[in-house]
Amino acid sequence: MATAVDVLVPTFNRPASLAITLTSLASQSFHEFCVIVSDQTEEFSVDERPEVRGVLRILEAKGVPAYLRRNRPRRGMAEQRQFLLEQAMAPYVLYLDDDLVLERDVVARLQAAMIAERCGFVGSAPIGLSHINDVRLHEQAIEFWDGPVLPEEVTWEGTRWQRHRLHNAANIFHVAQRLRLTPECQRLYKVAWVGGCVLFDRRALLSVGGFSFWRELPEAHCGEDVLAQLRVMRHYGGCAVLPSGTYHLELPTTLPDRRINAPELLPVDVPLKTTMIAQ
């Protein structure tokens, strides 16, 4: 069945949090999507766990196709994301981490923003509610898009990189509260990058090579999602929505070795493979 969005979920050894994430997908007001999970758990397959099987049944009952693919051995997160991208067929792909909870309108709002802006990606930055009382005004500078979302050059050593501070802790939750923004009057803002929940124009992502750069990285790396976004943003622009509506379960990372950071190792400026953007 053709869908508007393929939701791509990489997972490793997190059946309980995966079930929570999938449950938040099952409750979405927007249903024109399918779910593709890529499981790299070694000791078991996550679809053997009853909490995951139960939610997959709910998705099926709601008419949302859900597929589980096994991608082993582990060869790093960039390869895992590329594997998922190669499974996708929809014009838009939503990369969603396996430890997030989405309010019921998040996918609809991301899709609406993407259709309106026709840019490379739209993200919903996760909020860490353990920091709800940690108000960091010094990190809450925000730059809104008051016109169309345009291509931008952002590099990890440039001044625009400092935008990433806005996504620390619960900053975007506090900013949305202070500005009294609601899902009905969301605004788009400029980003360095967005973690965890990012809707891409699939052909824009493919045009910069997707995550095929995994072959240029050691297995232990981080920042692969950042590098892909920087490359897409350079040619097509990118943004995030406020309010976010996405929350982090704040689990321990499954990628403890973070010494190799992809944007520091590989170039942002790469030749386009194609200039086609989904219409």
The yes-or-no verdict on residue 277 having pLDDT over 60 is no
- Model confidence band, residue 217 (pLDDT cutoffs 50, 70, 90): very high
Is 5-265 assigned to CATH 2.70.98.10?
no
Q: What is the pLDDT of residues 147-156, one digit of tens each?
A: 999 999 998 8
What pLDDT is attached to residue 279?
39
The yes-or-no verdict on residue 278 having pLDDT over 50 is no
Which of 195, 256, 202, 191 lies closest to 82 in space, CA to CA? 202
Pairing outcome for strands 66-70 and 33-39? parallel
- Model confidence band, residue 1 (pLDDT cutoffs 50, 70, 90): low
Q: What residues does each domain of the chain span?
A: 5-265
255 against 160, higher pLDDT: 160
Q: Residue with structure tokens 């045009």?
A: 207
Q: What is the pLDDT of residues 165-174, one digit of tens each?
A: 999 999 999 9
The yes-or-no verdict on residue 97 having pLDDT over 50 is yes
In angstroms, rounded to a whole number, what is the distance separating the alpha carbons of residues 215 and 252? 26
**Mean pLDDT, the chain, as a whole number?**
95
In angstroms, rounded to a whole number, what is the distance separating the alpha carbons of residues 224 and 231? 11
The residue-averaged pLDDT of 206-229 equals: 96
Q: What is the pLDDT of residues 37-55, one digit of tens each?
A: 999 999 999 999 999 999 9
Q: What is the pLDDT of residues 53-82, one digit of tens each?
A: 999 999 999 999 999 999 999 899 999 999
- Model confidence band, residue 258 (pLDDT cutoffs 50, 70, 90): confident
CB neighbourhood size of 70 (10 A): 12
Share of the chain above pLDDT 70, in %: 97
